Structure 1
């Protein structure tokens, strides 16, 4: 009974803290709306994303065509919200892969002194290359496809998270409760997951939001350069790449998918900054 009452007290407190941070609340609201539009695209989109209508090609935005049409007469509004599905999927999947690889490398490097030197050199070597160049190299080596882009971006951004996890693990492994767990004979894997990893949730969440945004921007950049997802697959990046040939003639072909990327990335940045302030006890103000 006491636990139930305690949880009922904590829930309003968390929601109040979120609402007090306008950047976090605004970022969450925007990303939720964009996600809902993408998920409910089959119900919201007035046309199929691949429906051709040559007689209506390059129509400007109007009551019939909210965002106008492209060079094949396809409705850009429908394609934009459908493209959000794959763009968000690439960002989420790349972030999940980066988190899995980065957390593993960071824990190993930070907890085991002998492995620290080797893993740290690998991380430094990967971060020495610009993100987009390393992604292009990986996609070129593996072959362009949706899965390849996800793997490439996951590998590219894993070192960012690995460095954060390693730095925090180096501090946590020397704390008294970790030493006590070792003295009691607690298995190493249990110490790493139960005592170390649980204390890294806050920085991991914050970094994950930034990596999500970076991955979406990188996917758009790869598609724009023609080395990402196949042009037949609608993503915000491929739509911008297709519209660059008609800049000045049909600006709406690049404006609306570009705005979708900007709003999504901006909202993720706002969420990341808000979570950092909310989860960091040095920055959080008690009510």
Structure 2
């Protein structure tokens, strides 16, 4: 019954998905870049050419070369290796932020959309959280929790929860009125089973699309927090912390900021392209034009 109500990821065959990706070169490029970056982060010990924390003061602020592909920083550390290892942290922050925001957002969205008596109160909370700019709310939460990797992930997860909750609530409001949900109620199906079997299964598409966008937003937010000095500890190499420490050498060693900046732009671009492609593939109205 669930499959007849709303488009889901299973509505497309694998062949159809690859056909659409092949026709949308930007999405295929985004997927390729994202896979490359994930593999580089996973296999960082083999991809990196040096130890990321190995200091060589005699080689400080060296421009890119055949030995140091991205140059060196103020302590003579190989920038290419630090960017590769930094990808591990930045991508992990994005992934964990998606997990936290999706779990909290889906829970709040389903409760608000399915149970009318909870809708008003939860909607007010969601709207209140979205009234603050993301970065300001993240700074406030990190200031309260304290600057650390765990707290940054927690803060960003909370910040992006309302985005998921609003989308889930809107979809749940539609799904709860569909005939198959009414039929399940009439048959005496427990509410928890209706939510898990009929409602949640039909929320896969919007959740997947939101997850890709939040992944990109989280990477940018982590970089912004680290740049402002309220994020991850400077000793931990992330793309944001590398840019933050390199800003004092702007004009003298611009590569310290340029290469991690390119990594951030590439990751965000690839995720945005994938998000657009998923939205078009999973929306039947847009899929007709593909």
Aligned partners of 1:186 and 1:23: how far apart in 2?
44
Alignment of 1:11 onto 2:22 = no
* Whole-Å separation in 2 of the counterparts to 1:10 and 1:176: 26
Instruction: Quote the Cα distance in structure 1 between the aligned partners of 2:260 and 2:178.
Output: 49
For residues 137 and 15 of structure 2, the distance between their equivalents in structure 1, rounded to whole angstroms, comes to 45
Partner residue in 2 for 1:177: 180
Q: Provide Cα deviations, 1:136-189, integer angstroms capped at 9, x if missing partner.
A: 111110111000000000000000010000001001100111000000011101
Contact 1:24 1:275 in 2 (8 A): no
Q: Alpha carbon RMSD of aligned pairs, Å?
A: 1.3
The answer as to whether partners of 1:172 and 1:178 remain within 8 angstroms in 2 is: yes
Post-superposition shift, 1:17? 2.5
1:158 aligns with 2:161: yes
Specify which of 133, 137, 141 is matched with residue 138 of structure 1. 141
Alignment partner, residue 236 of structure 1: 239
Aligned pair count reads 280
What CA distance in whole angstroms lies between the structure 2 residues aligned with 1:183 and 1:245?
67
Displacement of 1:13 after TM fit?
2.8
Residue 275 (str. 1) matches residue 278 (str. 2): yes
* Cα deviation code 1:6-53 (max 9, x no counterpart): x9x933233223222222211111100111111111001110000000
TM-score norm. by structure 1 comes to 0.95
Gaps of 5+ in 1: 1-6
2:97 is aligned with 1:94: yes
Q: d(CA) in 2 for partners of 1:286 and 1:68?
A: 46
CA-CA distance at 1:286 after TM superposition: 7.9
